[in-house]
Structure 1
Amino acid sequence: MREIVFDTETTGLDPRDGHRLVEFAGVELVERMPTGRHLHFYTNPGRSMPLEAEQVHGLSEEFLRDKPKFREKAGELVAFLGDAILVAHNAQFDMRFLNFELEHAGLKPLDSGRVVDTLDLSRKRFPGAKHTLDALCTRFGIDRSARILHGALIDAELLADVYIELTGGRQIGFDLSVSASIREVVDTVSWPVRDFPLPAEDEAAHRAFLDKMKEPLWRKSV
C-alpha cells in the first residue's frame, strides 16, 4: 500500500479570498514505512504575502519571487501522487488549496475519497486532548526540535511519524515487510517433536477419570 503524507503552506486561509499555495511537500510511505522518497517545492503565488502568514511560515515575497508558478509544477505533483492514499492533518484545508491550484492549472481535482485526515484519527483516539501536530509529537515522543517555524517539508516528515503511531506504530510496517521471510524460515526448519510424559500418578488419575465417562464423543467419531 502506497501513501503520501503531505503538507502545504499558503498566503492565507481560503483560495476563494484570493489566497494561493506557496509550498508543497509530500513524503512517501509503502506499507506504513518511509521509503526516503519525497517531493518538495515552493511556488510564486503572484500576489503579496500577508504579514500574518509570513510570521507563520517565514516565506517572504522576496524569497518566492523567483520560484515557479504552481502550473509549472502541477504535472510533477500529479505524477508523484499517482493513485496513492493521501494523508494530511486538517486535510480539508490542504485539499481545498491543492484542488484550487490544480483546477487553475487545467487539471482534474483530487478525489476527497482517497484522503485520510490525521486530525480526525487523533480526535477519535484521544477525545478531549489537544490535536495539534506539536501536541501529537509530544504524545508519541517524536523529536520536533527542528520545527522552529511551520514548513511543509518538516511538517510532512513529522506528520508521517505521527500517522504511523496513530495507526499502530512502526511494528505494523515491520511485520508486513518481514512476514514473507519469516514464513520461509518457519517452513524450512525441521522442528523437533518433544514428548513430555505425565508422571505415573497423574497418568493413573487421568485414566481413572476417563473410565468414568460414558460414551465420550471421541469414541463415536472413531
Structure 2
Amino acid sequence: MRQIFLDTETTGLSPESGDRIIEIGCVEMVNRRLTGENLHFYLNPERKNHEDAVKIHGLTDEFLADKPLFSAVSDELMAYLSGAEIIIHNAGFDVGFLNAELARLGLPKFPEHVANITDSLTMAREMFPGKSNSLDALCKRLEVDNTNRTLHGALLDAGLLAEVYIRMTRGQDSLVIDAGDAAGPGEVVVAAVDLTQFTLPVVLATESETEAHEGVLKDLDKSSNGKTKWHLLVA
C-alpha cells in the first residue's frame, strides 16, 4: 500500500481570487514504513504573497523569484502521486489549490490523478470530537515532536502528518524505516500496539469450573489457617 502525505504553502487563502501554490511537500510511505523517497518543490507563484501568509510560512517574494513555475514540475509531481492514496490535513484547502493549478494547464482535476484522497482532519475530528485538531494540537496530543516547527513548511508538515497519522491509526510509538537498522545483533524490534482498538470477548466460567475454583480457595485457606488475603478482605 503506497501512501503519500502531502502539504502545500500558498500566497493566500483563496485560489478563486488568484492565490497560488508556492511550496509542495510530499512524504512517501509504503506498507506503513517511510521510504525516504520524498518530493519537494518551491514554486514561483507569478504574483505577490499576502503579508499574513508570509508571517506563517516565511517564504518571501524575493526567495521565490527564481524558483520554477508549477507548469515546469507538474508532470513530475503527477507521475509521483499517480496511483497512491494521498493523505492531507484539511484536504479541501490543498486540493482546491491543486485543482486551480491543474486547470491553468488544461489538465484534469487532482482527484483524477490519484487513487483516493484521505482527509486526516476529518479523521481527527471523529477520534477527538470537540477538541482542537490542528496539526500542532495533534502533535501535542499524540506526543509527536514538532519543536522544529517555528514556521509552516510543506515538507516538514507532511513529515509530521505522517507521524500523526500512524499514531492515530495504529498506536505505534514511532515510524520505522527498517527494523533491521533499528535492532542490534540478536534483537527484534516490535512496534507497540494500541490494545484499545480491539474488543475483547468476556468468557464466563461454567458452574463446574466455579465449584472447582471455590474448592481450591478453600484448600488454600485451610492450609494457611484462615489467613488468606481474599478471606480477610471478604470478612
Same fold (TM over 0.5): yes
Taking the TM superposition and a 5 Å limit, the aligned residue runs for 1:111-126 are 111=111, 114-126=116-128
TM-score by length of 1: 0.75
Cα distance in 1 for partners of 2:48, 2:5 equals 28
Unmatched runs of 5 consecutive residues or more in structure 2:
181-211, 213-235
1:66 is aligned to 2:93: no
Structure 1 counterpart of 2:50: 50
Aligned positions of 1:117-136 closer than 5 A: 117-136=119-138
Shift of 1:170: 3.4
Q: Once the two structures are superposed, what CA deviation does each residue of 1:74-117 show, in whole Å capped at 9, x if it has no partner?
A: 00100110110000000000000011112212322222771100
Which 5+ residue runs of structure 1 have no aligned equivalent?
A: 179-201, 203-222
Shift in Å at residue 14 of structure 1? 1.3
**1:159 equivalenced with 2:199 (yes/no):** no
Aligned equivalents of 1:130, 1:2: Cα separation in 2? 29
Bigger relative contact order, structure 1 or 2, given CA contacts below 8 A and separation 6+? 1
Report the secondary structure of 1:86's partner residue.
strand
* 1:141 and 2:143 are equivalent in the alignment: yes
- CA drift of 1:7 comes to 0.2
Corresponding residue number in structure 1 for 2:11: 11
**CA distances 1:5-54 after superposition (whole Å, capped 9, x unpaired):** 01000011111111000000010011122111100001100001111110
Length-normalised TM-score, structure 2: 0.71
Counterpart amino acid of residue 10 in structure 1: T
Find the aligned partners of 2:97 and 2:171 in 1 and give their Cα distance: 30
Q: Kindly report the root-mean-square deviation, in angstroms, between the aligned alpha carbons of the 2 structures.
A: 2.2
Equivalent position SS for 1:36: coil
8 A Cα contact 1:74 1:105, kept in partner: no
Aligned residue pair count: 178
In our comparison, the structure showing a higher alpha carbon Rg is 1
Matches within 5 A, 1:127-206: 127-170=129-172
